[in-house]
Amino acid sequence: MSNNGGVPYGSDEPTSFGLQPPRPPAGVPHPDHVPHPGNPYAAPTQVVPEQHQPAQDPGAGRLIAGRYRLLSKLGHGGMGTVWRAKDETVDREVAVKEPRIPDHLPERERVNAFERMRREARAAARLDHPAVVNVHDVAVVDGQPWIVMELVQGRSLGDVLQEGTLGAREAARIGLEVLGALEAAHAAGILHRDVKPDNVLLGRHERVVLTDFGIAQIEGETNLTDTGGFVGSPEYIAPERVLGQRPGPASDLWSLGVVLYAATEGVSPFRRSNTPATLQSVLNATPAAPASAQGPLAEVITGLLQKDPARRPNAAQTRALLEKAANPPAPAPTQVVQLGGDGKGVRVGAKTLIGLGATVVAAVLAATYLVIADPFADEKPDPWVDRAHPRLGVTLSVPKEYQVAKPDADDTDKNWVTYSDYSGSIWVGVNVARKSEDTSNQIKNSAAAEMYADNEEFKATGSYDLSMPEGPDTQTEETQYKGKKAAENTVTYTTNDTQNPRPRELKIFYYKTSKGDMYKVTISYPGKGDFTERGREVAENVIADLDIKTL
């Protein structure tokens, strides 16, 4: 079971969701479009910010089983409410899940559901694996089992995917941890039956935790039609379960395949507008081949999404492919041959060197270092590429390995794009406000005016979406772009995260076209540490090489 009850903390939304790439605010792109929140400079990972909690939740202060004091609600889903609580016996905070069974169920099925929850909670408590949430206790209150578990400091994968996709290596790393949890459960005779992004927590120190080991399920081995429905997100349920067949380990592996597809492609492959259509797609639809996931990761996703469970790779085969995806072979190292001592170097391809006579090489490269590069490696250790976005009328030059987060084809807000490095420490975003869509005349008369307006807002209120407190340090400058007026602002601040404040720096470039469209290019990076100089270098190069077509 997830500490957030299967939904983002403090949310009343249902657990099932359609993954959407992030929408930035009107001013600047969203700062947290990053593949992985575990990086100390990426999105915050606190369980629940205190300022977002109500002063007093109904039921707060209640003592459960004589030892667990309910403090505040963390969230709730279809099967219960999750509380932050204090174990007064051992003086530690825990997560306590208050069960909730649908009222329409007959009494016999309600009793059976509670008994199944007790049995499976006790089974999950026996699992010993770092990727399995620790279940401390099952407290029976009025015949209902309250599940007491560790309070995981982290965000759900579901939350992260609402902000953007993961890189292939990071998705494979998380997949390996989830697979390990499933292997431990299967070895103990426990099926999870509800593997989905909301039940994968990304904690501190790169810990990955799989929650809800069957505890939230009420159908168990019963056919789906026995109760007229099921609990959970139908797009992650294996076809054999939809057909009412007895599930096995392969059913959990199917769900893992759907999670990996969603994590890298940015969309749940079987999600439709309603439950019946979703179930039909699970049974009959063939997802498009993965585009972002290549090689072993694409192979494992395609294999796990086979409709016939007998054709899916087993756990060992899945692990082998995920390990290859998480740890791709490093490029062949460059060999350096010292021919002299003046510290200069010349890069020559291997075939060129072989084609030259030894005497010629010695004469031309005397007193230098000869660098013999792998002929199959990139000529530059960190190549940049031009990324064209005709929809935005802009071409960006970014490091080749940066990952893109962009709107879906059916997203109504298509005026932005964001790139980030694998760690999530540095991100580059472009946002364009169209004059033709500016019905309330929000676009200022010039790039400088837009910059000064944003700057006043930063000074007065900060920016919630950037985790920026009010009164940051700013350096405004009126500049030029291709001989036309432009503006830049450099903003430095410390994020207002209560548990993990981090220094950040923003470089924002403003340009208004002759048609009245306002372009903002934002580069965000750490304000201190190893990534700071690299972030400033990225900002300088991105702005220098920016190509806006509609001047």
Active-site residues, by number, are: 194
The two structure tokens encoding residue 424: 């999530």
The sign of the torsion formed by the CA atoms of 176, 13, 61, 103 equals negative
Q: What are the backbone angles phi and psi of residue 474, rounded to the nearest 5°?
A: -135, 150
In Å, how far are 19, 164, 259, 267 from 408, measured between CA atoms?
A: 9, 11, 18, 9
Identify whether the C-beta of residue 164 lies closer than 8 Å to the C-beta of residue 155. Answer: no
CB atoms closer than 10 angstroms to residue 392: 21
CB 303 within 8 A of CB 322: no
Q: Which two tokens stand for residue 28?
A: 């600047």
Residues in a beta bridge with 384: 399
Determine contact, residues 530/495, Cβ cutoff 8 Å: no
Which two three-digit tokens encode residue 470? 């009010």
Pairing state of beta strands 547-548 and 92-99?
unpaired
How distant, in Å, are the alpha carbons of 156, 400, 462 from that of 496?
21, 32, 10
Tokens found for residue 139: 């407290």
386 by DSSP, 3-state: which?
Answer: strand
| Phi, psi (deg, nearest 5) at residue 262 | -65, -40
Q: SS in 3 state form for 431-481?
A: EEECHHHCCCCCCCCCHHHHHHHHHHHHHHHCECCCCECCCCEEEEEEEEE
Residue 360, classified by CB atoms within 10 Å of its CB into exposed (0-12), middle (13-18) or buried (19+), is exposed
Q: 260 near 17, Cβ under 8 Å?
A: no
Q: Is 97 annotated as a binding residue?
A: yes
Query: Which residues are annotated binding-site positions for ATP?
Result: 97
